[in-house]
Structure 1
Amino acid sequence: MIGQLTGTLIAKQPPEVLIDVNGVGYEVQMPMTCLYELPDIGETVKLITHFVVREDAQLLYGFNTFAERTLFRQLIKAQGVGPKLALTIMSGMTAQQFVHAVTHDDVSSLVKLPGVGRKTAERLVVEMRDRLKNWGTATPATDAAPIDFGDMNPTIAGSSPRDDALSALLALGYKPAQAEKAVAAALKAEPQAASDILIRFALKNM
């Protein structure tokens, strides 16, 4: 089990990052809300990870806090929720926002996420309510710091912000037409924005 990685941030291709740990490159998938908080490329980063082994793949999912990883692990225990959908849910809202939605029976906020229909949202509220009762108190590093969206980091050089943003939305489960429309709207509002800004704008206005 790989529970933590500390190394140099080599590249970002949302929702995936590449971390160099003593010469070994680890590809790690992250929720966009966690990826926004990463330092600049070339700097040292520490990720709390969850390792998934399948017959056809070995996948690493990364988070900035133990609480975020705990939420991810609770999500994938829910009926009908796999790692991909859990990643999408945590990309569409912060961990705190998800917990708030569950504890306040806010189904309407959950159904806005791709892959989450009303039945799934209602089931999540029921299944997750008790699991999240003590969320945020289990470890010293539980509460994620507020996200500062004013200092975004570049992705891999050579690809356009539009293409990076579109690729990220598709990877998170959004349909091509929906992703194209959201990115186009983001570009109209922020023509010179970096990909992270476009992704954030698109997710916020889906």
Structure 2
Amino acid sequence: MIGRIQGTLIENKPPEILVDIHGLGYELQCPLSTIFSLPAVGDIVTLHTHLAVREDAHVLYGFSTHQERTLFRVLIKISGVGPKLALAILSGMETERFIRSIQDQDPGALVKIPGVGKKTAERLIVEMKDKLNALGAAGSMLITPLEAQVDRVQRVDALQDAESALIALGYKPAQASKAVTQVALDGMSSEDIIRSALKAM
């Protein structure tokens, strides 16, 4: 099992990135929360990883934090939730907010995540709550202090708002995601990101 990698980021094409490690290029699928925290292409990146072995492929997933990987591993054990939906959940909602929604039994918050319908949200609440209870202390580690995450949450929200606005304007999701990722800087509002992305495109 590959649990962690460190190398040079040579491609960033959400949701996939390519990391060079001593001449070998590793392709990783990453949630948007990780994509937004990546350094510039050409810089060194360190990621926690999960290797999924299937009959037709070996797929490596990358995460910026241990908490994200832990949540991913819990999610893919739930009936009806595969790696694709697990990445969508991590991309659509910050880890702490997701866990709080489970604890508060709030399906309304979960259905806002792309790909999560009412039935899936209800199943997530039931099965995730049981799994978090089974994890005990490890489950509580998924929740980090809110104060330490405020800036990151605001940044992710601004990026997601900007991406949604570009899609509404007629751009393809892949185009919108790439443009937003390329122009976004720390502290930029969603409006600033949209204007910069439109100029870049």
C-alpha displacement of 1:189: 7.7
Structure 1, gaps ≥5 residues long: 153-160, 171-185, 195-206
Q: Deviations over 1:96-132 (max 9, x none)?
A: 1111111111101111222211111001001101322
Q: CA RMSD of the aligned region, Å? A: 3.1
Per the alignment, residue 173 of structure 2 pairs with 166
Structure 2, gaps ≥5 residues long: 159-165, 178-189
CA–CA distance in 1 between the matches of 2:87 and 2:31? 5
Q: Which amino acid is 1:59 matched to?
A: V
Name segments (4+ residues, structure 1) moved above 4 Å.
161-165, 186-189
Report how many residues are paired: 167
Per the alignment, residue 192 of structure 1 pairs with 196
Q: Contact conserved, 1:14 with 1:165, CA < 8 A, in 2?
A: no
CA–CA distance in 2 between the matches of 1:143 and 1:84? 24
Per the alignment, residue 123 of structure 1 pairs with 123
C-alpha displacement of 1:54: 1.0
1:55 to 1:65, Cα distance in 2 relative to 1, 3 A: same
Structure 1 or 2: larger helix share?
A: 2
CA–CA distance in 1 between the matches of 2:47 and 2:110? 26
What pairs up with 1:33-182 in 2 under 5 angstroms? 33-133=33-133, 134=137, 135-137=139-141, 143=144, 146=149, 147=152, 149=155, 166-167=173-174
Deviates more, 1:123-132 or 1:71-80: 123-132
Deviates more, 1:126-135 or 1:102-111: 126-135
Give TM-score, length-normalised by structure 2: 0.73
SS in 2 for 1:80: coil
Q: Which amino acid is 1:74 matched to?
A: V
CA–CA distance in 2 between the matches of 1:51 and 1:38? 20
CA–CA distance in 2 between the matches of 1:82 and 1:5? 23
What pairs up with 1:23-42 in 2 under 5 angstroms? 23-42=23-42
Q: Contact conserved, 1:10 with 1:19, CA < 8 A, in 2?
A: yes
1:189 to 1:51, Cα distance in 2 relative to 1, 3 A: closer
C-alpha displacement of 1:165: 6.5
Per the alignment, residue 186 of structure 2 pairs with none
Per the alignment, residue 176 of structure 1 pairs with none
Per the alignment, residue 202 of structure 1 pairs with none
CA–CA distance in 2 between the matches of 1:188 and 1:64? 25
Deviates more, 1:79-88 or 1:51-60: 51-60
